[in-house]
Amino acid sequence: MNREELLNSLTQLDFMAVDLGLYLNTHPEDTEAIDAYNQVIVAADTVRTKYEDAFGPLCSFRSYATDTQNWQWKNNPWPWQSQFNYSLAGKECK
Amino acid sequence: MWIYEKKLEFPIKITTPDARLAKIMIEQYGGPDGELAASLRYLSQKFTMVTPEAKATLNDIATEEFAHVEMMGTIVAQLTRGLTKQQIIDSGLDAYYVNHGLGVYPSSAAGVPFSALALQSKGDPITDLYEDMAAEQKARSTYEYLIDLTDDPEVLAPLRFLREREIVHFQRFGEALDIARDYLKQEKVFDMGNTSNITWR
């Protein structure tokens, strides 16, 4: 997978985790949702590691510095720059 | 505490700058029903919330709202990048420009600077959760008005995502309200944080 595909996959998985987490806060005994949450977390961690190995750290003070010669964290592009992103225009759920 | 993750919650890639859109999108950055007000409201209210479920709901929705502040700032920043002098003048963005340049400043679309007067933290869980549900609906309406005035699909995609989140958050706050209300009825009807020592209650 290229950078955009990895980022897209991770964005989707992390969003599922956010949304399931909010649901579980008010439905804490829904074991099916807890299982789904755990599966999403494992899948997201796998993708996050792949992304970080190839393109540098994603998390402030939680990610390894893969490049030990140069502090990669500061590198452009940052998420608010358009070059960082891909467009989902026209792909919204109807 | 918080960990920053170097990505947006939903991707934003706007290729055509548009001063008129930038001028209205700032509403959901620093306007009264915008994302900054939402995040500060829930963050402030969590300290006096009752029940584990409602505390978790406030904490985690506050956290997601900070990601939405970043998304709205991103929309404004990308819409203003590469604007010409004439585009700034013609769109009426010039009034903003003379104060902020193309910096992203928390204000409403009408230019009113962000104010904490747009939110409450009342120390009463029932009052606060009703406010939160109203806040989500006000933000949903605002996103619909922004969508009405937007033709660029690259701007519409994140706006539609954010509108959907208002609906989900409204649902979660409604559930938290039910849980908090049950708890207060069962155990201590009038124990609402710092007001519990007021004898006339």
ipTM associated with this complex: 0.96
How far, rounded to the nearest angstrom, does the alpha carbon of residue A3 sit from its chain's CA centroid?
Answer: 12
> CA A90 → CA A15, A94, B123, distances in Å?
19, 10, 43
- 10-residue mean pLDDT profile of chain B (201 residues): values are 97 98 98 98 97 97 98 98 98 97 98 98 95 98 98 97 98 96 68 52 38
Dihedral (C-alpha) A60, A66, A70, A73: value to the nearest 10 degrees? -20
Note the pLDDT of residue B185.
Answer: 75
pLDDT tens per residue across span A14-62: 999 999 999 999 999 999 999 999 999 999 999 999 999 999 999 999 9
Question: For every residue of B5-44, which 3-state class applies, written as one string?
Answer: ECCCCCCCCCCCCCHHHHHHHCHHHHCCCCHHHHHHHHHH
Within an 8 Å CB–CB cutoff, is residue A21 touching chain B?
yes
Strand (E) or helix (H) holding B184: helix B153-186
Confidence of residue A74 (pLDDT cuts 50, 70, 90): very high
Contact between chains at B169 and A22 (C-beta distance less than 8 A): yes
Residue of A nearest to B61 (CA): A22
Note the pLDDT of residue B19.
Answer: 98
Considering the four listed CATH numbers 3.40.50.2300, 3.90.76.10, 1.10.150.120, 1.20.1260.10, the one that applies to the domain covering B19-190 is: 1.20.1260.10
> CA B60 → CA A14, A17, A78, B56, B68, distances in Å?
14, 12, 24, 6, 13
Residue of B1, B3, B6 to mutate when probing chain A, most A C-beta within 10 A: B6
Residue of A nearest to B65 (CA): A18
pTM of the model: 0.94
Q: Own/partner pairs for B156-159, CB < 8 Å, 24+ apart? A: B156/A89, B156/A92, B157/A87, B157/A88, B157/A89, B157/A90, B157/A91, B157/A92, B157/B10, B158/B10, B158/B11, B158/B12, B158/B71, B158/B75
- Largest Cα–Cα distance of chain A, in whole Å? 47
Interface of A with B in 27-66 (CB under 8 A): 27-28, 57-62
A82 CB neighbour count, 10 Å cutoff? 18
Q: Is a pLDDT exceeding 50 seen at residue A8?
A: yes
Contact (CB, 8 A) for B142 and B27: yes
Note the pLDDT of residue A25.
Answer: 98
Among candidates A7, A14, A26 on the partner chain, residue whose Cβ is nearest the Cβ of B57: A26
Structure-token pair, residue B133: 């549900």
Establish how many alpha carbons lie within 13 A of residue A76's alpha carbon, considering only the half-sphere containing its beta carbon.
Answer: 3
Q: Find, among B159, B126, B156, the residue nearest to B143 by Cα.
A: B159
Q: What residues does each domain of chain B span?
A: 19-190
Q: Is a pLDDT exceeding 60 seen at residue A13?
A: yes
Residue of B nearest to A91 (CA): B157
**8-state DSSP, B200:** T
Beta-bridge partners for B113: B107
**Pairs across A and B, CB distance < 8 A:** 102
Considering just the CA atoms, what is the radius of gyration of chain B in Å? 19
How far, rounded to the nearest angstrom, does the alpha carbon of residue A2 sit from its chain's CA centroid?
Answer: 15
Among candidates A22, A80, A84 on the partner chain, residue whose Cβ is nearest the Cβ of B61: A22
Contact (CB, 8 A) for B50 and B121: no
Burial zone of B59 (CB within 10 Å; 0-12 exposed, 13-18 middle, 19+ buried): middle
What single string gives the DSSP state of each residue in A24-80? HHH-TT-HHHHHHHHHHHHHHHHHHHHHHHHH---BTTTS--S-SSS-GGGPSPPTT
Within an 8 Å CB–CB cutoff, is residue B134 touching chain A?
no
